[in-house]
A and B are shown apart, each in its own frame.
Chain A
Amino acid sequence: MKRADLPLVTFTLLGQLALGAVVLAAMQPLYPAGQAPGAVTAAQALALAAAAALLTGLAVSLLHLGTPLGAVRALGNLGSSWLAREVLFSGLFAALTLGAALSPFLGLPTDNLLMLSVLTGLAAVFTMARVYQVTIHPAWSTPYTAVSFFSAAALLGVAAGAVLLAVLGAPAIPLAPALLLAGGTALVLQLAATVLYGLGLANGPRAAREAWSLLASRHRLSVTLRFAASLLGLGALTFADHLLGAGSPAAPWLALNAAVALVAGELMGRLLFFAAGVPNRVGI
């Protein structure tokens, strides 16, 4: 992995965190009756956090450019460039999410804006995956990239939910079962996709085999730790939910640690994704 890729690691992770958080915010009509005022506040807090994450990600992504002041020109080839489309949808996603967060002050319909945010967020993460899929890197040009990005959005959304639980407490928003279901499904999907991905790389062209060799030897421990962190995060969230129900003061602390473990798992996963980016090239 090159140092120049770090802004892209940050941008993709923050974009996917934003999608997870906005999906969570859009679930507010499903929150129990009687909790509506608190739930609306939570949804807006989540939307604000998502907008902040997105805007930070977009700002950091400029560091990847050799000429950051020309960034607006990245919208110049929407007809064929997935990168141009990614920039467009990420910008729209940020604007709509910020609009949803500030909707009470602007007099705009929060629900509608959140739904539009979710749709543009899904489009943004889809285009994000396509950007990597249409390159000369066999480790990126697979369906695994999309699976990995969307499951990262789910697990980072669960991390955002864990923070919400820590702040508001279980009785206010009983989200833990839904979070655990979403997180567990995403993790199982990611594990299954990783096995298929590994098999595909190991039996692919030379650059793919080089990528597999990196993951299976030099980064073997990181691959193990990456999934261990996600599993630990979901386990900690389960336990935190139990403690929240019992009114334990340790519960918020444990929920926050669950969020940290989930974010750490996705960060390691993304660093590994970039590390496996061995290009097809002349001479191999």
Chain B
Amino acid sequence: MPQLGFHVDMSACMGCHTCAVACQDRHDLPAGQRFRRVVEVSGGAWATPPGGAPVPHVFAYYISISCNHCEKPMCVANCPTGALSKRPQDGVVTIDQKVCIGCRYCAWSCPYGAPQYSPQKGKSQKCDLCVDLLQRGKDPACVSACPSRAIHVGPVDDLRLQFAGSMDLHGLPDPKLTTPNALYTPHKDAVRRERP
């Protein structure tokens, strides 16, 4: 089976957080722990042209983010116990809860904030792409819950053929760090360029 991954259409995301809530509910996570999060990126300033009134040059958009099941996952390389691994059959990065000791080094290693420490369990946990649902022919909770149909899942090579997108966007960490297996169709203001 090829490498699986997510595609997110940032231009369709309205920041409703339904994906995050659905994921939290599906995995029965306590408040504060979210395998999928929605991050608002905003900025800009007011500009006053000579002799004119102030004009807003501001922007705001949302990034729905979870684990990107990276090609070179730093969390897997850095985990001292070997609890984190990349499944050979579909490239999904998982944490073996029986092996994890809750050292939180995976959280220090992931630029996307995917592995998260659970104080209740004393271990780290993360998005597993809802592989149990995928095996039953269903979509992950975040995908099926999104009212804008902005999130898609599938073999990442197919997603790259189907959608235009990138991971080198304003608000996302440098993709060279971990080579993420995900794709974002950018919001118009997310394309990397110098900000005013």
Contact = CB atoms under 8 A, between A and B. Distances in A.
Q: Say whether A and B bind each other.
A: yes
Interface of A: 4, 64-68, 70-71, 73-77, 80-84, 87, 131, 134-137, 279-284
A73 B109 contact: no
8 contacts: A65-B101, A66-B102, A67-B101, A87-B80, A135-B109, A282-B111, A282-B171, A283-B39
Interface string B95-120: 00001111111001111110001110
A274 to B, nearest CB: 11
B63 A76 contact: no
B78 A73 contact: no
Contacts of A67: 100-102, 122-123
Interface of B: 37, 39-41, 63, 65, 74, 77-83, 99-105, 108-113, 117-119, 121-124, 171-174, 177
B173 A136 contact: yes
Contacts of B100: 66-67, 70
A168 B77 CA distance: 48
B111 A280 contact: yes
A134 B109 CA distance: 7
A-B pairs with the 8 shortest C-beta distances?
A66-B102, A66-B122, A84-B80, A283-B39, A83-B80, A70-B101, A77-B82, A74-B80
A73 B63 contact: no
A4 B108 CA distance: 13
A131 B111 CA distance: 16
A136 B103 contact: no
Contacts of B121: 66
Contacts of B81: 70, 73-74, 76-77, 84
A141 to B, nearest CB: 10
B79 A279 contact: no
Nearest to B37: A282
Contact of A81 (B79, B102, B122): B79
Given A283-B39, A283-B171, A74 B108 contact: no
B108 A136 contact: yes
Contacts of A65: 101-103, 122
Contacts of A87: 80
Given A65-B103, A83-B103, A134-B78, A279 B41 contact: no
B74 A134 contact: yes
Contacts of A73: 80-81, 83, 99, 101
Contacts of B109: 134-136
A66 B117 contact: yes
